[in-house]
Amino acid sequence: MVRIDGSKGEGGGQVLRTSLALSLVTGTPFQMVNIRAGRQKPGLLRQHLTAVKAAAEVGAAEVTGAELGSRELTFKPRALSAGNYSFAVGTAGSATLVLQTVLPALMLASGPSTLMLEGGTHNPAAPPFDFLEKAYLPLVRRMGPKVEAVLERYGFFPAGGGKFRVSVEPAPLRPLTLLERGAVKRRQATALIAQLPFDVAKRELAAVERVLKWKPTELRTEELKRSTGPGNVLWLEVESEHVTEVFTAFGERGVRAEEVAERAAGAARRYLEAEVPVGENLCDQLLLLLALAKGGTFRTLPLDGHSETQLHTFSNFLDVKVDVREVSPEVREVEVRG
């Protein structure tokens, strides 16, 4: 059994989710100790338990220590089964994080699956649905598996109540080479507003226009008349020849619309200036795909804590070699070999 120190690296929920994902794919059981040690509320929180529960269901796993506040967990998958799953996540966690935990195994399984996920779809502490749909899943499809996601209802924090469906047709993962993003084909800033003053959306777009100099035709507002709770999200899509990246920011009470917009715009500008195909958000998930494909290479920004944690976690389950080469101060080239 693989023994993992949960306090290493980023030391939070990511090391747990990646371990669950890889354990399901490889069938390797693991024991994790020091889960979230040193955090203000150490041990497993509800959002982590949700991920453990979903993974256990998909892998028919034998689990011990899956309790609130637990610092130790053992996870022994017995049989991965494709099929129809539905997970009600609530807002103590994010439905997209649950998907990231179980998807790698399901897209390599022996048969097709469908998933229905209910709960938070747009949660500031997790990748929003738009990122999955527009940036991540197109790369998955390019590597082989056919995975589609359809949003049925938005679920903003804290009300939740969102819903999306995912269909998975498994296929072996092919290595991917992504060294250039090519010409930018389309730029789109979307300010989505639900049950809040519409003015907020307009001010966000004005700020995007000012910071990024995008044209008025590249800016659009979207208003949700029907949603369970209020919400505001701004996402910027940069669709290039070889890749699409998505940058998001969420409205918060007490934070000006302009400031929200500048958060997303700042990240987008940094990505555009660096001339790399893969931004920070895609990087850690792409690393996982390449590691499972046992090959591939891409260029990205300097790796952040999340990506470093991913690399460290891989070594427990996969026999792959990952090289990170500095191309320039702002550009890294990552190469994965089996």
229 DSSP assignment: S
Q: Give catalytic residue positions.
A: 306
Closest separation between CB of residue 92 and other proteins, Å? 6
Q: Could you say which residues in the range 97-156 bind other proteins, by CB under 8 A?
A: 118-119, 124
Nearer to other proteins, 51 or 176 (CB): 51
Q: How far is it, in rounded angstroms, from Cα 264 to Cα 2?
A: 39
Closest separation between CB of residue 1 and other proteins, Å? 17
Q: Map residues 278-297 to x or -, x wherever contact with other proteins holds by CB under 8 A.
A: --------------------
Nearer to other proteins, 163 or 187 (CB): 163
Q: Could you say which residues in the range 294-333 bind other proteins, by CB under 8 A?
A: none
Structure tokens given for 243: 């890749």
Alpha carbon separation from 201 to 17, 126, 141, 220, 222 (Å, rounded): 34, 21, 32, 9, 8
Indicate which single residue of 47, 101, 113, 248 sits in contact with other proteins (rule: CB under 8 A): 47
Indicate which single residue of 33, 37, 49, 171 sits in contact with other proteins (rule: CB under 8 A): 49
Alpha carbon separation from 217 to 122, 186, 258 (Å, rounded): 25, 11, 19
Q: Which runs of consecutive H residues, i.e. helices, occur in 115-256?
A: 129-131, 137-143, 199-212
Structure tokens given for 281: 């958000």
Structure tokens given for 43: 């041990």
Strands 244-250 and 331-337: unpaired
Count Cα neighbours of 159 within 13 Å in the Cβ-side half-sphere: 15
Indicate which single residue of 60, 88, 184, 327 sits in contact with other proteins (rule: CB under 8 A): 88
Indicate which single residue of 92, 116, 322, 331 sits in contact with other proteins (rule: CB under 8 A): 92
Indicate which single residue of 14, 23, 101, 227 sits in contact with other proteins (rule: CB under 8 A): 227
Indicate which single residue of 1, 3, 60, 68 sits in contact with other proteins (rule: CB under 8 A): 68
Indicate the angle between helix axes 280-293 and 13-26, nearest 10 degrees: 20
Closest separation between CB of residue 203 and other proteins, Å? 17
Closest separation between CB of residue 57 and other proteins, Å? 9
Q: How far is it, in rounded angstroms, from Cα 238 to Cα 244?
A: 6
Number of residues that bind other proteins (CB under 8 A): 39
Indicate which single residue of 38, 217, 253, 273 sits in contact with other proteins (rule: CB under 8 A): 253
Q: Could you say which residues in the range 14-43 bind other proteins, by CB under 8 A?
A: 41, 43
Nearer to other proteins, 90 or 175 (CB): 90
Q: What is the layout of strands, in order, in the sheet containing 30-33?
A: 2-5, 30-33, 73-76, 62-64
Pick the piece of the chain touching other proteins (CB under 8 A) from 168-176, 253-261, 287-295, 306-314. 253-261
Strands 331-337 and 295-300: antiparallel
| Contact status: 161 vs other proteins (CB under 8 A) | yes
Nearest alpha-carbon partner for 93 in 13, 193, 18: 13
Interaction site with other proteins (CB under 8 A): 41, 43, 45-47, 49, 53, 56, 63-69, 88-92, 118-119, 124, 157-161, 194-195, 227-230, 250, 252-255
